[in-house]
Structure 1
Amino acid sequence: MNIPLNAMVAEDSGLRWRNEFAALPPKFFTRLQPTPLPDPYWVGRSNAAAQQLGLDAGWFASADALEVFTGNALLPGMEPLASVYSGHQFGVWAGQLGDGRAIMLGQTEGGFEVQLKGAGLTPYSRMADGRAVLRSSIREFLCSEAMHGLGIPTTRALCVTGSDARVRREEIETAAVVTRTAPSFIRFGHFEHFWANDKLDELRTLADFVIDRFYPECRLTKRFGGNAYAAFLEAVSERTAALLAQWQAVGFCHGVMNTDNMSILGLTIDYGPFQFLDGFNPRHICNHSDSGGRYAYNQQPNVAYWNLYCLAQALLPLIGEKEVAIAALQSYQTVFPDAFLARMRAKLGLTDAQDGDIQLVEALLSVLRQEQTDWTIFWRRLSQHMAGADAQTVRDLFVDATGIDAWLLSFGQRHASVPREAAAALMLRSNPKFVLRNHLGQQAIEAAQRKDYSGVSTLLNLLETPFDEHAGHDDYAGFPPDWASSIEISCSS
């Protein structure tokens, strides 16, 4: 069924709209309509994300829903728009950017913004076509839900729709639209935009908007002499530090940590050339476009701090004094290492803290680095060993077991005062069996390109509950095949 451009469909979706961002002044966005795609079809749907959104399950399976989430129709109350922002890309000021292929449909009464990615040209498309392709849309859909399943703050992905409409990248591909949801898609770059253009009234309006909706405690602060904007910067710094600790602990590489890809709410946002580590190589670069390694795995915590410094610069006209802004950033330096160590303690099944824990973690990372041991499989096998499996399953991961044997001895001594059953339970819910490895995503994409979406559905099911065993699906938790190392993911989509 093809519905005419931007027609209204019957309001039985279960959603109501309040559109607070759309009430901001016109300089924040451009109102526009999505560009339709012909003959859309479902590629994947997240019922869990739909439930969080408050979407009626029956309507979500309907032809009307397919049209709405492809950009061919609207629900009553939607106010489509694309927002403007700027940012630093690969450490260089890029000037004005904005939603070049994303169109926000509106904000629900439940507090979630709903956004179409790949819905056509906007004023911020910068010579691009405003479209997304099937492969990148599947990767974003699956990884958004995978991160949520891991308990990592993230934007959600409601669904992916496809069309046989052609899109040119390095080669001709087919179009797709991914529907994303989040409490807000505001980025560091939104603040940089108004600061760089000397629009201080708009900068203050934006900061007040975010503080009042997401950081109201900053209005009551006694820190920094009661400076709410400094308290806001500190709160964002601490959320970002906690997020980075979770990324590092699970072995997640973002790939493009530009300031326009940093959420003001501390969410993982904009899934492009991401990757979960296979072998543990701290210098791993997942983005084929990142020739200098700026966004390598071990650089991510420092890059996040650099990005926060850019945010502090943008907020300085509101904060007032440079020394206060710098002081507001300092908590990152303590929150990140403390949060990372807490995550590693959980991965090790340690229910208390002792002074030597950091040395135990560092010694293990050194052993894993020497042989680039598979990150996810090692941690899951160590968890199973704590639950009763033979230690040989862990030793088998190493060509030279000398280092891991010595470490396992220290690990056992550290656990002498920790009940083994409690430690095993903590480890099994801290170390996932399933992550979205590149080769798994690639297999699902290649099947989808043949109009077989079963691989997308299977992966979604596993990644929504990645700590469960999922009997019969051990192949999805195995070692990557040799060809996986040849997969190249870049900024192109």
Structure 2
Amino acid sequence: MSAAAPAPEDRPEAPGEPPTGGGLEWINRFAALPDAFHHRPDPAPFPGAQLLASSPAMRERLSLTPDDLAAEPWLGMITRGEPVAGTPQVASVYAGHQFGVYVPQLGDGRAKLLGEVRTPAGEHWELQSKGSGPTAFSRHADGRAVLRSSIREYLVSEHMAAMGIPTTRAVALYGSSLRVFRERIESGAVVLRAAPSFLRFGHFEYFHYAGYPERLRQLIDYALDHDFPEHREAEDPVRAMLETVTARTAELMADWQAVGFCHGVMNTDNMSLTGLTIDYGPFAFMDAYDPDYICNHTDQGGRYAFARQPGVALWNLTRLAETLVAHFNAPDVDTAVEQAKSVLEAFQGQFRAAWLRRMRAKLGLQLEREEDESLVQELLARMAAEGIDYTRLFRQLPELEDGGTRQGFIEELEDPQAWQAWEERYRERLAQESRPTPERHAAMRAVNPKYVLRNHLAQTAIERAEDGDFSELERLQRVLSRPFDEQPEAEDLAELPPAWASGIQLSCSS
């Protein structure tokens, strides 16, 4: 297995000027790595390119305007992959375990790293275009994305950020007259996305399993300098990096489980080294609570079912540790292996503690009590038994406690006595808290979203956008940017899903 083909040494300088807007400084550290780490794809046509939407939050972070994003050179750089002086676009190579099976070479098959910028505020962001054409790693595919999947990623990226969940960001969404074939012929689209780093577990797997220890060491040094500079002076920088990655992943899994988010494709190549949610494909927010919920109909065995996500994360971290252990600053291999095991063994406790913190907050509990976990687990068991909507139940807990919708809710349950038993236990637990009830309720509403990007909401916006109407896309973006706020004009977006929503199927092309 060979590394990525090196690009010619005499590659001519790209024409044009660096993109303007907001005083961004282009530094491009990943593109400065040797050619074994990436490939420079050729520009690809994208007819009729136009800006469809952009994130106000990310425009502010990057000091960009809609006019900047809609005009050259940004338009050509993002949608057609055109090179601009000082910003060589690259597609990175990586590998990965997909549904548990190792695939020795994957890579950015439809994503191109435009470059890395430093903002006037001192933030570092890597910018990627997703769907702007083929690369050396497209594996005979077209390197394109469709409007359907692009709208989903665009909306959920900013929605997750608004809920405080670490994620890659979506800066802008572009459409075109390009026709792309997936399950059917669809409109082509491009998402401009951003992240402090796009490094994945699979980047390390590629060089480890291909037998390039020197390249792997170079990648490790790059990650330490780029993403974990605080560990450079540690006694064992690589072990410290693994400890941080493990802790961040545990926190991320707690975030997902707390809001009912199912990723759908937790392959190692879809795991972020810096603890971000990355690569939104067949994701979903649960409607009726079901720990065995599978959001990806490709996942026939349920490997990535909702309740299995934390365990899968640990399995993926173990694969990452296998690539790093030889580079620990340990006296021998056996010691390094034991140190790596110790790091990984901490994951379950880290996840459990992080998840319990979030679930206590959702229930309005400030104090920590030993019985809290069983209280939460009993509630989840009742929700699963009754098919209760996950988001609405937690959002409505203050109302249920006040009696506002309690009676009607109880009457709808198949086993009202079991719910009443839990409710009594919950009231007894609340009696141990000293916070005033109005303050507690406000705190609960600040962590229990009223609005989540349910599948049927995304589907409605997609269907209208495919007909040329982007008003629902704009409305969803606006409402989901404030998921915890009461928004009376958007009450319909917080309702239970309609019957037809159960027929929505998502796959890896979603």
TM range (shorter): over 0.9
The secondary structure found in structure 1 opposite 2:25 is: coil
Q: Indicate conservation of the 8 Å contact 1:9/1:73, yes or no.
A: no
1:439 counterpart residue number = 456
1:216 aligned to 197, 215, 229, which one?
A: 229
Shift of 1:66: 3.8
1:257 counterpart residue number = 266
Could you list the runs of 5+ residues in structure 1 that have no partner in the other structure? Answer: 1-5
Range 75-84 or range 306-315, more displaced: 75-84
CA deviations over 1:169-194 (Å, ceiling 9, x no partner): 11111110011100010000000001
CA deviations over 1:114-157 (Å, ceiling 9, x no partner): 00000111000011110001100000000111110111000000
The secondary structure found in structure 1 opposite 2:177 is: strand
Q: Indicate conservation of the 8 Å contact 2:54/2:66, yes or no.
A: no
2:377 aligned to 339, 359, 362, which one?
A: 362
Name the CA distance, whole Å, in 1 between partners of 2:458 and 2:367.
37
Q: Indicate conservation of the 8 Å contact 2:395/2:450, yes or no.
A: yes
- Asked if residue 146 in structure 1 is aligned to residue 154 in structure 2, the reply is no
1:160 counterpart residue number = 173
Percent identity among equivalent residues? 48
Q: 1:9 to 1:401 in 2, by over 3 A?
A: farther
1:344 counterpart residue number = 359
1:306 counterpart residue number = 315
Shift of 1:43: 2.4
2:7 counterpart residue number = none
- Asked if residue 132 in structure 1 is aligned to residue 145 in structure 2, the reply is yes
Range 240-249 or range 157-166, more displaced: 157-166
- Asked if residue 234 in structure 1 is aligned to residue 243 in structure 2, the reply is yes
The secondary structure found in structure 1 opposite 2:488 is: coil
1:408 counterpart residue number = 423
Name the CA distance, whole Å, in 1 between partners of 2:424 and 2:117.
54
User: How many residues are paired up?
Assistant: 484
2:78 counterpart residue number = 69
- Asked if residue 198 in structure 1 is aligned to residue 185 in structure 2, the reply is no
Shift of 1:64: 5.1
Q: Indicate conservation of the 8 Å contact 2:41/2:136, yes or no.
A: no
Q: Indicate conservation of the 8 Å contact 1:43/1:448, yes or no.
A: no
Aligned residue runs from structure 1 range 8-87, under 5 A: 8=16, 11-14=19-22, 15-56=24-65, 58-60=67-69, 62=71, 65-71=74-80, 73=82, 76-87=85-96
Q: 1:57 to 1:37 in 2, by over 3 A?
A: closer
1:328 aligned to 315, 318, 343, which one?
A: 343
- Asked if residue 283 in structure 1 is aligned to residue 292 in structure 2, the reply is yes
Name the CA distance, whole Å, in 2 between partners of 1:275 and 1:467.
18
- Asked if residue 353 in structure 1 is aligned to residue 368 in structure 2, the reply is yes
* CA root-mean-square deviation: 1.8
Query: What letter is aligned with 1:122?
Result: T
Q: Indicate conservation of the 8 Å contact 2:258/2:355, yes or no.
A: yes
Q: Indicate conservation of the 8 Å contact 1:376/1:433, yes or no.
A: yes
CA deviations over 1:79-133 (Å, ceiling 9, x no partner): 2000000010000011100000000000001310000000111000011110001
Q: 1:440 to 1:390 in 2, by over 3 A?
A: closer
Name the CA distance, whole Å, in 2 between partners of 1:63 and 1:207.
36
Q: With the length of structure 2 as denominator, give the TM-score of the two structures.
A: 0.91
Q: Indicate conservation of the 8 Å contact 1:86/1:97, yes or no.
A: yes
The secondary structure found in structure 1 opposite 2:316 is: helix
1:392 aligned to 389, 397, 407, which one?
A: 407
Shift of 1:11: 4.2
2:10 counterpart residue number = none
Name the CA distance, whole Å, in 2 between partners of 1:383 and 1:79.
53
1:374 counterpart residue number = 389
2:505 counterpart residue number = 488
1:317 counterpart residue number = 326
2:11 counterpart residue number = none
Q: With the length of structure 1 as denominator, give the TM-score of the two structures.
A: 0.94
Range 324-333 or range 210-219, more displaced: 210-219
Query: What letter is aligned with 1:148?
Result: A
The secondary structure found in structure 1 opposite 2:104 is: strand
Q: Indicate conservation of the 8 Å contact 1:116/1:178, yes or no.
A: yes
Shift of 1:56: 4.1
Q: Indicate conservation of the 8 Å contact 2:77/2:114, yes or no.
A: no
Query: What letter is aligned with 2:158?
Result: E
Q: Indicate conservation of the 8 Å contact 1:86/1:192, yes or no.
A: yes
1:470 counterpart residue number = 487
- Asked if residue 182 in structure 1 is aligned to residue 199 in structure 2, the reply is no
Shift of 1:387: 7.0
Query: What letter is aligned with 2:115?
Result: G
Shift of 1:25: 1.7
Name the CA distance, whole Å, in 2 between partners of 1:291 and 1:169.
20
Name the CA distance, whole Å, in 1 between partners of 2:19 and 2:251.
39
Shift of 1:409: 1.1
Name the CA distance, whole Å, in 2 between partners of 1:102 and 1:148.
21
CA deviations over 1:421-442 (Å, ceiling 9, x no partner): 2221111011000000000000
Range 480-489 or range 205-214, more displaced: 205-214
1:95 aligned to 72, 97, 104, which one?
A: 104
Shift of 1:365: 0.7
Q: Indicate conservation of the 8 Å contact 1:141/1:178, yes or no.
A: yes
Name the CA distance, whole Å, in 2 between partners of 1:438 and 1:187.
27
